[in-house]
Amino acid sequence: MKSTSIQFLELLHDGFCATDLNGIVLYANPRALELIKLEDYTAITLNFFRDVVKDENLIEEIKSKIAQESSISDIECNLFNRFREYFPVILTANYIRDYDGTPEGYLFLFKEMSAFKEMQVRLVQAQKMESIGLLASGIAHEFNNILSGIMPNAELIKMTTKEKANLARADMIHKASFRAANIVKQLLSFARIHEMDETEALVLNEAVSETLGILDKLFGKEIHLENRIPVDLPAIEANATQLQQVIMNLAINARDALEGSGRIIFSAEVFKNISKDQTLKPGDYIVLKVMDNGHGMTREVMEKIFDPFFTTKEPGKGTGLGLSTVYGIVKSLNGDIRVESEPDKGTRFNVYLPVSHSRLAKKESPDEVTESTSRNVMIIDDDLVVREMAGDLLDFLGHTVVKAETGEEGIELFRTQPSRFDLIIIDLIMPKMNGVTTMERIRAIDEKIKIVITSGVGHTNKKDEMLKKGADAYLQKPYSLDAFRSMFSDLFPE
Protein backbone atom coordinates (compact mmCIF):
# COMPACT_ATOMS: atom_id res chain seq x y z
CA MET A 1 0.00 0.00 0.00
CA LYS A 2 1.19 3.50 -0.79
CA SER A 3 1.99 5.87 2.02
CA THR A 4 -0.53 8.70 2.52
CA SER A 5 1.97 11.34 1.42
CA ILE A 6 2.48 9.58 -1.92
CA GLN A 7 -1.30 9.28 -2.31
CA PHE A 8 -1.56 12.99 -1.68
CA LEU A 9 1.13 13.76 -4.27
CA GLU A 10 -0.68 11.64 -6.83
CA LEU A 11 -3.82 13.72 -6.43
CA LEU A 12 -1.95 17.00 -6.65
CA HIS A 13 -2.92 19.28 -9.57
CA ASP A 14 0.68 20.52 -9.81
CA GLY A 15 3.73 18.70 -11.07
CA PHE A 16 6.02 17.25 -8.40
CA CYS A 17 9.44 15.59 -8.83
CA ALA A 18 12.05 14.32 -6.40
CA THR A 19 15.59 13.94 -7.78
CA ASP A 20 19.08 13.12 -6.57
CA LEU A 21 21.76 15.82 -6.49
CA ASN A 22 22.50 15.29 -10.19
CA GLY A 23 18.88 15.84 -11.11
CA ILE A 24 18.02 12.18 -11.86
CA VAL A 25 14.29 11.80 -11.23
CA LEU A 26 13.55 9.35 -8.42
CA TYR A 27 9.84 10.10 -8.22
CA ALA A 28 7.43 12.05 -10.45
CA ASN A 29 3.72 12.41 -9.72
CA PRO A 30 1.09 11.78 -12.45
CA ARG A 31 0.62 15.51 -13.19
CA ALA A 32 4.39 15.93 -13.72
CA LEU A 33 4.35 12.99 -16.14
CA GLU A 34 1.37 14.47 -17.94
CA LEU A 35 3.18 17.78 -18.37
CA ILE A 36 6.44 16.19 -19.44
CA LYS A 37 4.40 13.89 -21.73
CA LEU A 38 6.06 10.80 -20.40
CA GLU A 39 4.29 7.59 -19.41
CA ASP A 40 6.92 6.00 -17.23
CA TYR A 41 9.94 7.76 -15.77
CA THR A 42 11.47 4.54 -14.47
CA ALA A 43 11.95 3.13 -17.97
CA ILE A 44 14.50 5.78 -18.88
CA THR A 45 16.95 7.98 -17.02
CA LEU A 46 15.14 11.25 -16.76
CA ASN A 47 17.32 14.11 -15.60
CA PHE A 48 15.20 17.02 -14.42
CA PHE A 49 17.92 19.60 -15.10
CA ARG A 50 19.05 18.28 -18.45
CA ASP A 51 15.69 17.14 -19.89
CA VAL A 52 13.09 19.41 -18.31
CA VAL A 53 14.77 22.70 -17.33
CA LYS A 54 17.21 22.58 -20.26
CA ASP A 55 18.29 26.23 -20.00
CA GLU A 56 21.92 26.21 -18.72
CA ASN A 57 21.64 29.64 -17.09
CA LEU A 58 18.46 28.70 -15.30
CA ILE A 59 19.99 25.43 -14.08
CA GLU A 60 22.94 27.38 -12.66
CA GLU A 61 20.61 29.92 -11.04
CA ILE A 62 18.48 27.22 -9.42
CA LYS A 63 21.49 25.29 -8.11
CA SER A 64 23.33 28.27 -6.70
CA LYS A 65 20.25 29.82 -5.11
CA ILE A 66 19.36 26.56 -3.40
CA ALA A 67 22.97 26.12 -2.26
CA GLN A 68 22.82 29.57 -0.63
CA GLU A 69 19.27 29.74 0.65
CA SER A 70 18.23 26.04 0.63
CA SER A 71 15.20 26.82 -1.52
CA ILE A 72 13.80 28.91 -4.34
CA SER A 73 10.18 29.85 -4.66
CA ASP A 74 7.78 31.15 -7.30
CA ILE A 75 10.19 31.42 -10.22
CA GLU A 76 8.34 32.13 -13.47
CA CYS A 77 9.99 30.12 -16.20
CA ASN A 78 9.44 27.67 -19.04
CA LEU A 79 9.99 23.92 -18.69
CA PHE A 80 10.18 21.45 -21.58
CA ASN A 81 8.30 18.25 -22.32
CA ARG A 82 9.71 15.16 -23.97
CA PHE A 83 9.00 16.62 -27.40
CA ARG A 84 11.00 19.76 -26.60
CA GLU A 85 7.84 21.88 -26.45
CA TYR A 86 7.88 24.40 -23.65
CA PHE A 87 5.16 25.10 -21.12
CA PRO A 88 5.09 28.08 -18.74
CA VAL A 89 5.24 27.30 -15.02
CA ILE A 90 5.77 28.75 -11.60
CA LEU A 91 8.57 26.71 -10.06
CA THR A 92 9.44 26.11 -6.42
CA ALA A 93 12.38 23.91 -5.38
CA ASN A 94 14.38 22.93 -2.33
CA TYR A 95 16.91 20.43 -1.01
CA ILE A 96 16.08 17.03 0.33
CA ARG A 97 18.39 16.54 3.33
CA ASP A 98 19.39 13.43 5.20
CA TYR A 99 19.09 13.05 8.98
CA ASP A 100 22.21 15.13 9.72
CA GLY A 101 21.24 17.90 7.31
CA THR A 102 23.44 16.98 4.35
CA PRO A 103 21.71 17.67 1.00
CA GLU A 104 21.01 14.50 -0.89
CA GLY A 105 18.63 15.64 -3.60
CA TYR A 106 16.03 18.15 -4.80
CA LEU A 107 12.26 18.53 -4.66
CA PHE A 108 10.57 20.39 -7.51
CA LEU A 109 7.00 21.65 -7.51
CA PHE A 110 5.71 23.33 -10.65
CA LYS A 111 2.36 24.89 -11.47
CA GLU A 112 1.40 24.94 -15.12
CA MET A 113 0.39 28.48 -16.16
CA SER A 114 -0.75 28.30 -19.83
CA ALA A 115 -4.45 28.97 -19.16
CA PHE A 116 -3.63 31.74 -16.73
CA LYS A 117 -1.15 33.29 -19.16
CA GLU A 118 -3.67 33.17 -21.94
CA MET A 119 -6.24 34.95 -19.81
CA GLN A 120 -3.65 37.49 -18.76
CA VAL A 121 -2.78 38.15 -22.40
CA ARG A 122 -6.49 38.62 -23.19
CA LEU A 123 -6.88 41.00 -20.30
CA VAL A 124 -3.85 43.06 -21.27
CA GLN A 125 -5.17 43.10 -24.83
CA ALA A 126 -8.57 44.31 -23.59
CA GLN A 127 -6.91 47.05 -21.56
CA LYS A 128 -4.79 48.09 -24.52
CA MET A 129 -7.88 48.27 -26.72
CA GLU A 130 -9.61 50.37 -24.08
CA SER A 131 -6.84 52.97 -24.10
CA ILE A 132 -6.49 53.00 -27.87
CA GLY A 133 -10.26 53.46 -27.90
CA LEU A 134 -9.94 56.59 -25.79
CA LEU A 135 -7.26 57.97 -28.06
CA ALA A 136 -9.25 57.13 -31.19
CA SER A 137 -12.38 58.76 -29.85
CA GLY A 138 -10.43 61.91 -29.00
CA ILE A 139 -9.03 62.16 -32.50
CA ALA A 140 -12.38 61.32 -34.07
CA HIS A 141 -14.08 63.98 -32.00
CA GLU A 142 -11.66 66.68 -33.15
CA PHE A 143 -11.92 65.59 -36.76
CA ASN A 144 -15.65 65.56 -36.60
CA ASN A 145 -15.65 69.19 -35.55
CA ILE A 146 -13.34 70.10 -38.39
CA LEU A 147 -15.46 68.18 -40.87
CA SER A 148 -18.54 70.01 -39.60
CA GLY A 149 -16.97 73.09 -41.12
CA ILE A 150 -15.90 71.49 -44.39
CA MET A 151 -18.57 69.07 -45.52
CA PRO A 152 -21.75 71.12 -45.58
CA ASN A 153 -19.86 74.07 -47.10
CA ALA A 154 -18.65 71.94 -49.97
CA GLU A 155 -22.16 70.59 -50.35
CA LEU A 156 -23.59 74.09 -50.49
CA ILE A 157 -21.02 75.34 -53.02
CA LYS A 158 -21.83 72.33 -55.17
CA MET A 159 -25.49 73.17 -55.09
CA THR A 160 -25.21 76.88 -55.67
CA THR A 161 -22.25 77.46 -57.99
CA LYS A 162 -22.72 77.45 -61.73
CA GLU A 163 -19.08 77.71 -62.68
CA LYS A 164 -17.79 74.37 -63.91
CA ALA A 165 -14.25 74.51 -62.50
CA ASN A 166 -15.47 75.47 -59.04
CA LEU A 167 -18.15 72.84 -59.20
CA ALA A 168 -15.50 70.19 -59.84
CA ARG A 169 -13.33 71.53 -56.99
CA ALA A 170 -16.24 71.59 -54.59
CA ASP A 171 -17.08 68.08 -55.65
CA MET A 172 -13.53 66.96 -54.87
CA ILE A 173 -13.65 68.58 -51.45
CA HIS A 174 -16.99 66.98 -50.79
CA LYS A 175 -15.79 63.54 -51.83
CA ALA A 176 -12.55 63.81 -49.85
CA SER A 177 -14.33 65.00 -46.75
CA PHE A 178 -16.85 62.22 -47.18
CA ARG A 179 -13.99 59.72 -47.14
CA ALA A 180 -12.59 61.38 -44.04
CA ALA A 181 -16.01 61.27 -42.40
CA ASN A 182 -16.14 57.57 -43.15
CA ILE A 183 -12.81 56.99 -41.42
CA VAL A 184 -14.07 59.00 -38.45
CA LYS A 185 -17.20 56.86 -38.40
CA GLN A 186 -15.14 53.66 -38.38
CA LEU A 187 -12.93 55.02 -35.62
CA LEU A 188 -16.00 55.88 -33.62
CA SER A 189 -17.49 52.45 -34.03
CA PHE A 190 -14.18 51.10 -32.76
CA ALA A 191 -14.22 53.47 -29.81
CA ARG A 192 -17.81 52.46 -29.14
CA ILE A 193 -19.04 55.98 -28.55
CA HIS A 194 -20.92 56.38 -31.79
CA GLU A 195 -24.67 56.44 -31.65
CA MET A 196 -25.52 52.87 -30.79
CA ASP A 197 -27.89 51.54 -33.34
CA GLU A 198 -30.81 49.63 -31.96
CA THR A 199 -30.50 45.88 -31.70
CA GLU A 200 -33.09 43.23 -32.44
CA ALA A 201 -33.37 39.47 -32.51
CA LEU A 202 -31.66 38.20 -35.66
CA VAL A 203 -31.23 34.77 -37.22
CA LEU A 204 -27.51 34.36 -37.84
CA ASN A 205 -27.91 31.91 -40.70
CA GLU A 206 -30.11 34.37 -42.61
CA ALA A 207 -27.80 37.31 -41.99
CA VAL A 208 -24.78 35.33 -43.17
CA SER A 209 -26.44 33.91 -46.28
CA GLU A 210 -27.71 37.35 -47.31
CA THR A 211 -24.22 38.85 -47.02
CA LEU A 212 -22.52 35.87 -48.63
CA GLY A 213 -24.96 36.18 -51.53
CA ILE A 214 -23.56 39.63 -52.25
CA LEU A 215 -19.93 38.60 -51.74
CA ASP A 216 -20.13 35.42 -53.79
CA LYS A 217 -20.50 37.42 -57.00
CA LEU A 218 -17.64 39.72 -56.06
CA PHE A 219 -15.18 37.03 -55.01
CA GLY A 220 -15.23 34.97 -58.19
CA LYS A 221 -15.21 31.22 -58.79
CA GLU A 222 -11.89 30.33 -57.20
CA ILE A 223 -13.06 31.37 -53.73
CA HIS A 224 -15.56 28.97 -52.17
CA LEU A 225 -17.83 30.59 -49.63
CA GLU A 226 -19.73 28.14 -47.47
CA ASN A 227 -22.46 28.76 -44.93
CA ARG A 228 -22.61 25.84 -42.49
CA ILE A 229 -24.55 27.65 -39.80
CA PRO A 230 -27.38 25.49 -38.42
CA VAL A 231 -30.79 27.06 -39.12
CA ASP A 232 -32.24 26.13 -35.74
CA LEU A 233 -29.80 28.08 -33.54
CA PRO A 234 -31.31 30.58 -31.08
CA ALA A 235 -31.52 34.15 -32.40
CA ILE A 236 -28.79 36.63 -31.51
CA GLU A 237 -29.22 40.18 -30.26
CA ALA A 238 -27.58 42.52 -32.77
CA ASN A 239 -28.09 45.27 -35.27
CA ALA A 240 -28.57 43.97 -38.82
CA THR A 241 -26.35 46.58 -40.51
CA GLN A 242 -23.58 46.16 -37.98
CA LEU A 243 -23.75 42.40 -38.20
CA GLN A 244 -23.42 42.66 -41.96
CA GLN A 245 -20.35 44.86 -41.47
CA VAL A 246 -18.80 42.21 -39.21
CA ILE A 247 -19.49 39.39 -41.68
CA MET A 248 -18.26 41.46 -44.66
CA ASN A 249 -15.01 42.51 -42.99
CA LEU A 250 -14.15 38.99 -41.86
CA ALA A 251 -15.01 37.54 -45.27
CA ILE A 252 -13.02 40.17 -47.18
CA ASN A 253 -9.99 39.68 -44.95
CA ALA A 254 -10.23 35.91 -45.48
CA ARG A 255 -10.51 36.45 -49.24
CA ASP A 256 -7.36 38.57 -49.15
CA ALA A 257 -5.53 35.89 -47.16
CA LEU A 258 -6.46 33.25 -49.75
CA GLU A 259 -4.50 35.10 -52.42
CA GLY A 260 -6.64 33.95 -55.31
CA SER A 261 -8.16 30.62 -54.36
CA GLY A 262 -9.34 28.69 -51.33
CA ARG A 263 -12.23 28.24 -48.93
CA ILE A 264 -14.02 30.42 -46.44
CA ILE A 265 -16.36 28.56 -44.11
CA PHE A 266 -18.92 30.13 -41.80
CA SER A 267 -20.17 27.90 -39.01
CA ALA A 268 -21.70 28.48 -35.59
CA GLU A 269 -22.67 26.77 -32.37
CA VAL A 270 -24.14 27.54 -28.98
CA PHE A 271 -21.67 28.43 -26.26
CA LYS A 272 -22.60 28.66 -22.60
CA ASN A 273 -20.09 30.83 -20.82
CA ILE A 274 -19.81 29.91 -17.18
CA SER A 275 -16.25 31.07 -16.64
CA LYS A 276 -15.41 34.28 -14.87
CA ASP A 277 -13.34 35.37 -17.85
CA GLN A 278 -13.16 39.13 -17.62
CA THR A 279 -13.54 39.68 -21.34
CA LEU A 280 -16.89 37.88 -21.65
CA LYS A 281 -19.76 37.95 -19.18
CA PRO A 282 -21.30 34.62 -18.15
CA GLY A 283 -24.34 33.78 -20.28
CA ASP A 284 -25.55 32.16 -23.49
CA TYR A 285 -23.77 32.99 -26.72
CA ILE A 286 -23.61 31.89 -30.31
CA VAL A 287 -20.03 31.53 -31.55
CA LEU A 288 -19.75 32.48 -35.17
CA LYS A 289 -16.66 30.83 -36.64
CA VAL A 290 -15.11 32.18 -39.79
CA MET A 291 -12.39 29.91 -41.14
CA ASP A 292 -10.12 30.25 -44.12
CA ASN A 293 -7.22 28.20 -45.43
CA GLY A 294 -5.21 31.25 -46.41
CA HIS A 295 -1.71 32.40 -45.49
CA GLY A 296 -2.45 32.80 -41.77
CA MET A 297 -0.60 35.06 -39.35
CA THR A 298 2.39 35.11 -37.06
CA ARG A 299 1.91 35.70 -33.34
CA GLU A 300 3.31 39.23 -33.71
CA VAL A 301 0.72 40.12 -36.34
CA MET A 302 -2.06 38.50 -34.31
CA GLU A 303 -1.32 40.73 -31.36
CA LYS A 304 -1.95 43.87 -33.40
CA ILE A 305 -4.76 43.03 -35.81
CA PHE A 306 -7.47 44.83 -33.84
CA ASP A 307 -5.45 48.05 -33.52
CA PRO A 308 -6.79 50.86 -35.69
CA PHE A 309 -4.66 51.43 -38.79
CA PHE A 310 -2.70 48.21 -38.37
CA THR A 311 -2.37 46.56 -41.76
CA THR A 312 0.10 44.27 -43.47
CA LYS A 313 -1.32 45.15 -46.86
CA GLU A 314 0.47 47.34 -49.38
CA PRO A 315 -0.11 51.07 -49.17
CA GLY A 316 -3.43 51.89 -50.76
CA LYS A 317 -4.73 48.33 -50.35
CA GLY A 318 -5.95 48.44 -46.75
CA THR A 319 -6.54 51.12 -44.12
CA GLY A 320 -6.31 48.70 -41.20
CA LEU A 321 -9.69 49.74 -39.87
CA GLY A 322 -11.66 46.62 -40.81
CA LEU A 323 -10.97 44.56 -37.72
CA SER A 324 -11.00 47.57 -35.37
CA THR A 325 -14.53 48.25 -36.57
CA VAL A 326 -15.45 44.60 -36.07
CA TYR A 327 -13.93 44.67 -32.59
CA GLY A 328 -15.86 47.82 -31.63
CA ILE A 329 -19.15 46.44 -32.92
CA VAL A 330 -18.74 43.06 -31.24
CA LYS A 331 -17.77 44.66 -27.93
CA SER A 332 -20.68 47.09 -28.07
CA LEU A 333 -22.98 44.09 -28.49
CA ASN A 334 -21.46 42.64 -25.27
CA GLY A 335 -19.70 39.95 -27.25
CA ASP A 336 -16.07 39.14 -27.89
CA ILE A 337 -13.81 38.19 -30.78
CA ARG A 338 -10.84 35.84 -30.64
CA VAL A 339 -8.49 34.60 -33.28
CA GLU A 340 -6.51 31.43 -33.88
CA SER A 341 -3.96 31.33 -36.65
CA GLU A 342 -0.56 30.10 -37.70
CA PRO A 343 1.50 31.01 -40.74
CA ASP A 344 0.41 28.86 -43.71
CA LYS A 345 -2.16 27.04 -41.61
CA GLY A 346 -5.13 29.34 -42.17
CA THR A 347 -7.08 31.45 -39.73
CA ARG A 348 -10.16 31.12 -37.59
CA PHE A 349 -12.04 34.02 -36.05
CA ASN A 350 -14.46 33.15 -33.24
CA VAL A 351 -17.08 35.83 -32.71
CA TYR A 352 -19.15 35.47 -29.54
CA LEU A 353 -22.58 37.07 -29.89
CA PRO A 354 -25.13 37.07 -27.06
CA VAL A 355 -28.31 35.05 -27.52
CA SER A 356 -31.35 37.31 -27.79
CA HIS A 357 -34.15 37.38 -25.28
CA SER A 358 -36.48 39.38 -27.50
CA ARG A 359 -38.85 38.05 -30.14
CA LEU A 360 -37.98 37.89 -33.81
CA ALA A 361 -39.28 41.00 -35.53
CA LYS A 362 -41.03 41.18 -38.88
CA LYS A 363 -39.27 43.13 -41.57
CA GLU A 364 -40.80 46.52 -42.38
CA SER A 365 -40.41 48.65 -45.47
CA PRO A 366 -38.56 51.94 -44.89
CA ASP A 367 -40.55 55.16 -44.56
CA GLU A 368 -40.68 57.42 -47.55
CA VAL A 369 -38.97 60.74 -47.23
CA THR A 370 -41.20 63.71 -47.83
CA GLU A 371 -40.08 67.23 -48.58
CA SER A 372 -41.03 69.66 -45.78
CA THR A 373 -42.56 73.13 -46.21
CA SER A 374 -40.96 76.33 -44.96
CA ARG A 375 -40.65 76.69 -41.17
CA ASN A 376 -39.40 79.36 -38.79
CA VAL A 377 -36.40 78.04 -36.94
CA MET A 378 -34.22 79.44 -34.19
CA ILE A 379 -30.74 77.99 -33.78
CA ILE A 380 -28.89 78.44 -30.48
CA ASP A 381 -25.21 77.52 -30.66
CA ASP A 382 -22.13 79.17 -29.14
CA ASP A 383 -19.91 78.07 -32.05
CA LEU A 384 -20.00 80.64 -34.84
CA VAL A 385 -19.01 78.19 -37.60
CA VAL A 386 -21.62 75.65 -36.58
CA ARG A 387 -24.27 78.35 -36.21
CA GLU A 388 -23.59 79.79 -39.64
CA MET A 389 -23.42 76.38 -41.20
CA ALA A 390 -26.74 75.26 -39.75
CA GLY A 391 -28.20 78.60 -40.83
CA ASP A 392 -27.02 78.12 -44.41
CA LEU A 393 -28.29 74.56 -44.60
CA LEU A 394 -31.71 75.51 -43.21
CA ASP A 395 -31.81 78.47 -45.53
CA PHE A 396 -31.01 76.22 -48.45
CA LEU A 397 -33.89 73.94 -47.48
CA GLY A 398 -36.17 76.95 -47.62
CA HIS A 399 -36.62 77.65 -43.91
CA THR A 400 -36.35 81.02 -42.15
CA VAL A 401 -33.60 81.14 -39.57
CA VAL A 402 -32.89 83.25 -36.50
CA LYS A 403 -29.56 82.67 -34.74
CA ALA A 404 -28.64 83.10 -31.09
CA GLU A 405 -25.23 82.71 -29.50
CA THR A 406 -26.27 81.88 -25.93
CA GLY A 407 -29.18 80.28 -24.14
CA GLU A 408 -30.11 83.60 -22.54
CA GLU A 409 -30.21 85.34 -25.91
CA GLY A 410 -32.38 82.58 -27.38
CA ILE A 411 -34.80 82.68 -24.45
CA GLU A 412 -35.12 86.45 -24.81
CA LEU A 413 -35.83 86.19 -28.55
CA PHE A 414 -38.45 83.54 -27.88
CA ARG A 415 -40.07 85.46 -25.01
CA THR A 416 -40.67 88.51 -27.19
CA GLN A 417 -42.29 86.52 -30.04
CA PRO A 418 -43.21 82.98 -28.96
CA SER A 419 -45.64 82.40 -31.81
CA ARG A 420 -43.04 83.29 -34.41
CA PHE A 421 -41.15 79.98 -34.14
CA ASP A 422 -41.98 76.46 -35.28
CA LEU A 423 -38.77 74.88 -34.05
CA ILE A 424 -35.75 75.61 -31.88
CA ILE A 425 -32.45 73.79 -32.32
CA ILE A 426 -30.23 74.00 -29.23
CA ASP A 427 -26.61 72.93 -28.80
CA LEU A 428 -26.23 70.69 -25.73
CA ILE A 429 -22.86 71.93 -24.49
CA MET A 430 -22.60 75.71 -24.21
CA PRO A 431 -20.36 77.65 -21.82
CA LYS A 432 -22.91 79.70 -19.86
CA MET A 433 -26.32 78.12 -19.94
CA ASN A 434 -26.35 74.57 -21.24
CA GLY A 435 -28.81 73.14 -23.75
CA VAL A 436 -31.01 71.32 -21.26
CA THR A 437 -31.54 74.38 -19.03
CA THR A 438 -32.21 76.51 -22.09
CA MET A 439 -34.77 73.98 -23.28
CA GLU A 440 -36.48 73.94 -19.87
CA ARG A 441 -36.70 77.74 -19.71
CA ILE A 442 -38.14 77.92 -23.22
CA ARG A 443 -40.64 75.20 -22.45
CA ALA A 444 -41.68 77.21 -19.39
CA ILE A 445 -42.80 79.92 -21.81
CA ASP A 446 -44.48 77.55 -24.26
CA GLU A 447 -44.64 73.88 -23.38
CA LYS A 448 -45.61 72.83 -26.91
CA ILE A 449 -42.75 74.41 -28.87
CA LYS A 450 -40.73 71.79 -30.79
CA ILE A 451 -37.14 71.54 -29.59
CA VAL A 452 -34.20 69.62 -31.06
CA ILE A 453 -31.06 69.10 -29.00
CA THR A 454 -27.85 68.76 -30.96
CA SER A 455 -24.34 67.78 -30.02
CA GLY A 456 -20.98 66.52 -31.22
CA VAL A 457 -19.83 62.94 -31.28
CA GLY A 458 -18.57 62.66 -27.74
CA HIS A 459 -22.09 62.97 -26.44
CA THR A 460 -24.04 60.82 -28.83
CA ASN A 461 -24.98 58.38 -26.13
CA LYS A 462 -27.03 61.27 -24.72
CA LYS A 463 -29.76 60.73 -27.29
CA ASP A 464 -32.08 58.69 -25.04
CA GLU A 465 -31.43 60.97 -22.10
CA MET A 466 -32.34 64.05 -24.17
CA LEU A 467 -35.53 62.48 -25.47
CA LYS A 468 -36.44 61.58 -21.88
CA LYS A 469 -35.75 65.13 -20.79
CA GLY A 470 -38.36 66.27 -23.30
CA ALA A 471 -36.53 67.06 -26.54
CA ASP A 472 -38.56 66.22 -29.67
CA ALA A 473 -35.47 64.97 -31.46
CA TYR A 474 -31.72 64.65 -31.14
CA LEU A 475 -29.46 65.66 -34.01
CA GLN A 476 -25.85 64.67 -34.30
CA LYS A 477 -23.09 66.87 -35.64
CA PRO A 478 -21.63 67.19 -38.22
CA TYR A 479 -24.83 68.29 -39.92
CA SER A 480 -25.84 67.18 -43.37
CA LEU A 481 -28.67 68.22 -45.62
CA ASP A 482 -30.13 64.74 -45.44
CA ALA A 483 -30.15 64.71 -41.67
CA PHE A 484 -31.93 68.06 -41.61
CA ARG A 485 -34.40 66.94 -44.26
CA SER A 486 -35.38 63.77 -42.46
CA MET A 487 -35.54 65.61 -39.14
CA PHE A 488 -38.10 68.02 -40.61
CA SER A 489 -40.18 65.26 -42.13
CA ASP A 490 -40.18 63.42 -38.77
CA LEU A 491 -41.10 66.51 -36.76
CA PHE A 492 -43.66 67.90 -39.20
CA PRO A 493 -45.32 64.95 -40.94
CA GLU A 494 -47.46 66.20 -43.83
Ligand X SMILES: Nc1ncnc2c1ncn2[C@@H]1O[C@H](COP(=O)(O)OP(=O)(O)OP(=O)(O)O)[C@@H](O)[C@H]1O
Give the footprint of Mg ion on this chain (CB under 5 A).
253, 322
Confirm or reject binding of residue 305 to ligand X (CB under 6 A).
yes
186's CB contacts (< 8 A; 6+ apart) are 319, 321, 324, 325
Sheet order of strands, 15-20 included: 25-28, 15-20, 103-112, 86-97, 71-80
Report the DSSP pairing between strands 400-404 and 376-380: parallel
Of 81-89, 313-321, 355-363, 482-490, the window that binds ligand X (rule: CB under 6 A) is 313-321
For residues 432 to 471, the per-residue mask of contacts with ligand X, x marking binding by CB under 6 A and - elsewhere, is ----------------------------------------
3-state secondary structure of 203: coil
Q: How far is the CB of 143 from ligand X (least distance, A)?
A: 17
Q: How far is the CB of 314 from ligand X (least distance, A)?
A: 10
Are 266 and 213 contacting, i.e. CB atoms less than 8 angstroms apart?
A: no
Q: How far is the CB of 279 from ligand X (least distance, A)?
A: 19
What's the rounded Cα separation, in Å, for the pair 305 and 33?
Answer: 37
Beta strands in 1-85 (DSSP E): 15-20, 25-28, 71-80
For residues 234 to 273, the per-residue mask of contacts with ligand X, x marking binding by CB under 6 A and - elsewhere, is ---------------x---xx--x----------------
**Residue whose Cβ sits closest to ligand X:** 322
Q: How far is the CB of 144 from Mg ion (least distance, A)?
A: 23
How many chain residues interact with ligand X (CB under 6 A)?
23
Are 295 and 257 contacting, i.e. CB atoms less than 8 angstroms apart?
A: yes
Identified binder of ligand X from the candidate list 323, 329, 413, 471, rule CB under 6 A: 323
Confirm or reject binding of residue 407 to ligand X (CB under 6 A).
no
Of 48-56, 91-99, 309-317, 352-360, the window that binds ligand X (rule: CB under 6 A) is 309-317
Q: What share of the chain is helix, strand, coil (3-state, %, to 5)?
A: 45, 25, 30
Of 70-78, 314-322, 371-379, 461-469, the window that binds ligand X (rule: CB under 6 A) is 314-322
How many other C-beta atoms are found inside a 10 Å radius of the C-beta of residue 181?
Answer: 18
412's CB contacts (< 8 A; 6+ apart) are none
| Bridge partners for 159 per DSSP | none
Q: How far is the CB of 370 from ligand X (least distance, A)?
A: 37
Which residues make up the interface to ligand X (CB under 6 A)?
Answer: 249, 253-254, 257, 292, 294-297, 301, 305, 310-313, 318-324, 347
